Amino acid sequence: MKNWILAARPKTLTAAVIPVITGTALAAGERIRIDWALFLFALLGALFIQIGTNLINDVADFRKGSDTAERLGPVRVTQAGLLSERQVAGGAFMAFAAAVLCGIPLVVHGGIPLIIIGVASLVAGYAYTAGPFPLAYHGWGDFFVILFFGVVAVGGSYFLQTGTISIQALLAGVSVGSLAAVLIAVNNLRDRQGDLHSGKRTLAVRFGVRLARVEIAMLALAPFVIGAYWLSRGQHLAFLLPLLVLPLAVAIIRSARRDSGRELNRTLGKAAALHALHGILFSLGVVLQ
């Protein structure tokens, strides 16, 4: 059980939780009556997709030689021999199957748009590091995270409660996705040398350390820039409350400029905290406005 918990990477699961909370909070802020059963199924579905993606990533990176004994990040169960390739791949299949089951009530309620979102999310989760064109190995991992763990997840959660989509949901999705992508960008900066040797052409590998650090800064600050939109709409709390974690964003940018190798694991922890706290504070600001 400990090995399976390790394989699921619980510290990353806020990337699935925060978008669903944010999209639902936007609907609640518009005085929409929230269907909590749909919220729960959406939350569970997102968690299972995230877990399945993590497990596929574990196996695929091991098979492609990206995960070795010299790995700088947290332990990967396939590379460490804690679970076999077959076990982890089977676990990924079960997680995706559970996501499909959770998606059934969502599809019944939301129709074809929810089918499209669900199928696209499952395919993208698998294709992140597996399949004929693994996104993370061709420099598309960051874009994938912004799109599916931001725009799609927030917009889909909002649509589920309201039956519509809005510019507010899309912008909130970009904010959430940008902070989720900070984790990927920090990972890629930390693992740049290993990825270079294994043929994993992340943005950090393609364009170098300087651009990777600029990317981290832009992603970390993007939600605070987008926050000006909420201010212009008179939603002051949605703008002001997230500013409480701006110092944490600045600390991440400074750490990324200064640190390297295993030192960036601390920066990764800060990035996860920033993503979770910003999402919670923004959601509170929207609901309480």
Per-residue pLDDT for 43 more than 80?
Answer: yes
Q: What is the pLDDT of residues 113-145, one digit of tens each?
A: 999 999 999 898 888 878 778 888 888 889 989
The predicted structure's pLDDT at residue 70: 63
Q: Which amino acid is at 64?
A: K
The predicted structure's pLDDT at residue 198: 76
Q: What is the pLDDT of residues 248-264, one digit of tens each?
A: 999 999 999 998 888 88
In which band, very low, low, confident or very high, does the pLDDT at 285 lie, cut at 50, 70 and 90? very high
Work out the angle at residue 277's Cα, subtended by the Cα atoms of residues 175 and 21, and round it to the nearest 5 degrees.
65
- 213-232 burial, b if ≥16 CB within 10 A, otherwise e? bebbbebbbbbbebbebbee
In which band, very low, low, confident or very high, does the pLDDT at 77 lie, cut at 50, 70 and 90? confident
Q: Which residue has the higher pLDDT, 270 or 193?
A: 270
Helix axes 203-232, 264-288, angle to 10 degrees: 20
Q: Is 59 left (phi over 0), alpha (psi -120 to 50) or beta?
A: alpha
Per-residue pLDDT for 75 more than 80?
Answer: no
Q: What is the pLDDT of residues 174-203, one digit of tens each?
A: 999 999 999 999 989 988 888 887 788 889
The predicted structure's pLDDT at residue 209: 92
Q: How far is CA 112 from CA 103, 159, 160, in A?
A: 12, 12, 12
The predicted structure's pLDDT at residue 73: 65
Number of domains in the chain: 1
What residues make up the domain containing 169? 2-288
| CATH code of residue 95 | 1.10.357.140
Arithmetic mean of pLDDT over the chain: 91
The predicted structure's pLDDT at residue 20: 97
The predicted structure's pLDDT at residue 68: 62
Spell out the residues 6+ positions from residue 67 whose beta carbon is closer than 8 angstroms to its own. Answer: 58, 61, 76, 78, 79
pTM of the model: 0.92
Q: What is the pLDDT of residues 230-251, one digit of tens each?
A: 999 999 999 999 999 999 999 9
